[in-house]
Chain A
Amino acid sequence: MYHRVRIFSGGHVSDLESAQALDGFMREYQGGSLAAFEALYRALAPRVNGFIRARVRDDAHASDLLQEVFLELHRSRHTYLPGRSVIGWAFGIAQNVLLRHRREAHRRDRHEVLTDLLELEERFAPRAADFELQALQDALGRLSPDSRATWWMRNIEGLSFDVIARRLGIAATAVRLRCSRASRALRAALENGADHD
């Protein structure tokens, strides 16, 4: 339940929960009142924060997002149509900001995974050669880049499944599955290599 704002422009405001009061504040805010913005913040922030926290677990990130929602709300204050629900409008903006963040995070993760894979490729060649196990090097070379990266991070760098999952932007169970499959493929490849020898 969000708290009520009693003081606005030096006087008393009966009840911010009422849609009419919020609508009034929005009109004043659109008219250039900073006090109206502050009153709106006090009324809307707990609800918007709840909306964000239902979707984002990280406290610091949720707090940043709340600020960003209010910045976007300020920038887009002209999109509020007087007479309509202020809360619905604010949630619409919050959803917009969340979706944009999700898209950006997705793009960033994809870029980071690609960068990680490239780095691994660069590091992989000399270090695998250090093993002097040509068969292992060949077998690793036959794995897909995703599987190779996952196996490498788990078995050579010794990272936990959760850390790998975060780094690759996939579920920890998917990391376990990838590692298990990669290990099985490597074992099979090495056994076949030994048979041929």
Chain B
Amino acid sequence: MIESSVPVSLVNRVRVDIAPVRPLASPSRRLLALVPLALILFLGPPLYHHWRENLAQMPAWTSWGMSALESLGGIALLGFALRQAVPGMAARPGWVMLALTAGLLLFTGVSLTTAIVLPTPLHDPDSWARLAWECVVMELPFAIPSLAISAWLVARALPTRPALTGAAYGLAVGLMTDAGMRLYCWIDQPLHVFCGHGGTILLGMIGGALMAALIERVKYRRLRSSAVK
């Protein structure tokens, strides 16, 4: 049976912290604030390193078009993750899995299309692992801060399934970073792309999932300890 009045302990707990709060902006508005980040990830790698050697030989729809498509996919996934973090707006886990699958398929499709349109074999086939690792290392300085910003935005809300939400924003950041990296990295060989670029995306997903789960656990412990006090 529920009491019609609020339990005194709860009222006392609320009273000490009843300060006005500013409501969170809607997921779409917060996503808009992240568009500059997407632009930095899109143009950052080629501007910081240099434009890919064979950019002129590629049809524009393959270079700019595919990169833009991948970036937009990442932005959409990030919007989905931000929405997922707001109580009452979260989709079922099945939909999240579907979104993650769609993101991975987008990366696969973009990579294979580019590889078919302009196959670029490695000069030295034995060096594929080194080159793949180089791409991972070059992408991480762009991916890690973006992952941290996304994690902060999601953590401001309350994701019901933090690991899945984290995997979603990790994948989103991975896709957006890869979109820019494709404009720098001239190697389209699938082995390189899936190991190097795909590896970074996978790292982003795992990192995002771990980060979100950890943050929520810390938040929960704080809540429990404050409830005990």
Contacts and interface: CB of A to CB of B under 8 A. Distances in A.
Nearest to B21: A78
Interface residues of A, number: 40
Interface string B1-36: 011111101110111011111111010000000000
A76 B14 CA distance: 12
Given A76-B158, A79-B157, A92-B160, A38 B11 contact: yes
B70 to A, nearest CB: 30
A34 B5 CA distance: 13
Interface stretch (B51-59, B85-93, B100-108): B85-93
A74 B14 contact: yes
Contacts of A17: none
Contact of A99 (B2, B26, B156, B161): B161
Contacts of A161: none
A76 B157 CA distance: 7
A74 B24 contact: no
A47 to B, nearest CB: 10
Interface residues of B, number: 37
Contacts of A80: 23-24, 87
B223 interface: yes
A115 interface: no
Interface stretch (A83-91, A149-157, A183-191): A83-91
Contact of A32 (B2, B18, B216): B18
Contacts of A61: none
Given A38-B11, A99-B160, A3 B4 contact: yes
A99 to B, nearest CB: 6
Contacts of B90: 92
Interface string B203-229: 000000000000010001001001100
Contact of B220 (A37, A67, A70, A100): A100
A109 interface: no
A49 B2 contact: yes
Interface string A67-108: 110111011111111101100111111011001100000000
User: Looking at A32, A34, A46, A76, which has the most chain B CB atoms within 10 Å of its CB?
Assistant: A76
B20 A31 contact: yes
Interface of B: 2-7, 9-11, 13-15, 17-24, 26, 86-90, 156-161, 216, 220, 223, 226-227
Q: 6 tightest CB-CB pairs across the interface, nearest first?
A: A92-B87, A92-B88, A88-B88, A32-B20, A89-B88, A78-B21
